[in-house]
Amino acid sequence: MTDADLPGFFHDAERASRRGQRLALTWSRTRLISAVVAAVGGALEWERQTAVHPWGLLALVAFSVALVMEILLWTQQPERDWYAGRAVAESIKTLAWRYAAAGAPFSTDVARPRALFQERVGEVVAQSEQRLPLDSDDPSATAAMTALREAPFERRRTTYLENRLQEQKRWYTAKARADRRRAMQWRIALIVGEVLAIVLAGGRAFGVWDVDASGILAAAVASGAAWLATRRHSSQATGYSLAARELVLVRAKVLDADEASWAEAVAEAEEAISREHQLWLASRPVES
């Protein structure tokens, strides 16, 4: 079973989250780049006598773009869709796997598990951000989910171990590695920028040149630091690494589980995955 086999509401929330993330990051990136461009326009001089100062005009345009991006981020708040969409998508995903693997609260002895699943999905959607575009008509379990649920215990266990736990661990490991690499790259770039700014400031202080290039670099370094704070690469790498290690321990318990203890073992594994999602959301407060 893959993500393609999950209910329509999962895909709706996933699309909303990705769109919100794309807009939030694009607008934030544009705002920060505009601030640097404005610093360039403010630092450079124009020797010719013209009615319009071209570097001043550049600064004016750049500040205007930054202002528009700031207003869009404030009024549209795409990060709300980003965070709320992921929360809904991951909540539905964990419910889907609990149902398909016959984990608690959808164990094999539960009466009307399909109706219970639909009820739990409805609760998740009701608690979500109201503006999320969840347009799917059928929030109930898919055919693939029901087919896995009705399969023998050994097949359910094998599928859950490989397609859920192992796949999730691979995702956490890859994301932790990528975030560590990006954090290191940004830290090195910021250090290089700060050293270069010191050199340029010294050159201006001792009359080597008149251009305030250090001010431009200061704006670039500040923007880079703001972007690094937005992306949170270091904290994300730590969180993903911890989640991957926890899944290794959980997987051992799931391997040892028999059919009688299976429902609780699946529930424990899903709770471990959910903790990472909750920590991720908690690290991203959204202003009202």
**The pLDDT of residue 284 is above 70:** no
How high is the pLDDT of residue 155?
95
When mean pLDDT is compared over 125-129, 148-152, 206-210, the highest value belongs to: 148-152
> pLDDT for 163-208, tens place per residue?
999 999 999 999 999 999 999 999 999 999 888 888 888 887 787 7
Q: For residue 53, what are the CA distances in angstroms to 34, 108, 257, 259? A: 18, 75, 74, 77
How high is the pLDDT of residue 30?
95
Query: For residue 144, what are the contacts with CB-CB under 8 A and spacing of at least 6?
Result: 1, 5, 100
How high is the pLDDT of residue 93?
94
CA 252 – CA 166 distance, rounded (Å): 11
Mean pLDDT of the chain: 88
> pLDDT for 41-87, tens place per residue?
877 776 666 677 788 888 899 999 999 999 999 999 999 899 889 98
The whole-number average pLDDT for the span 253-276 is 90
pLDDT band at 267 (very low <50, low <70, confident <90, very high): very high
Higher pLDDT, 56 or 269: 269
Percent of the chain scoring above 90 in pLDDT: 51
Of 217, 230, 228, which is closest to residue 36 (Cα–Cα)? 217
Higher pLDDT, 185 or 284: 185
Instruction: Please report where in the chains the tokens 């993330």 appear, as a residue.
Output: 21
How high is the pLDDT of residue 117?
94
**The pLDDT of residue 280 is above 80:** no
CA 154 – CA 109 distance, rounded (Å): 17
Query: For residue 99, what are the contacts with CB-CB under 8 A and spacing of at least 6?
Result: 106, 113, 117, 141, 145, 149
How high is the pLDDT of residue 14?
93
**Domain chopping of the chain, boundaries:** 3-282
The whole-number average pLDDT for the span 127-134 is 76
Q: What is the pTM of this model?
A: 0.85
Percent of the chain scoring above 70 in pLDDT: 94
How high is the pLDDT of residue 222?
87
How high is the pLDDT of residue 121?
92
Query: Lowest-confidence range among 46-60, 63-77, 105-119, 136-150?
Result: 46-60
Query: For residue 150, what are the contacts with CB-CB under 8 A and spacing of at least 6?
Result: none
pLDDT band at 106 (very low <50, low <70, confident <90, very high): very high
Query: What interhelical angle do 233-256 and 262-282 show, nearest 10?
Result: 170
Concatenated DSSP letters for 89-147?
A: HHHHHHHHHHHHHT-TTS-TT-SSHHHHHHHHHHHHHHTS-TTS----S--S--HHHHH
* Helix runs in the chain, H state only: 8-43, 54-76, 78-101, 113-126, 143-149, 153-159, 167-205, 213-231, 233-256, 262-282
Joined together, the tokens standing for residue 65 give: 């773009």
**The pLDDT of residue 286 is above 60:** no
How high is the pLDDT of residue 288?
46
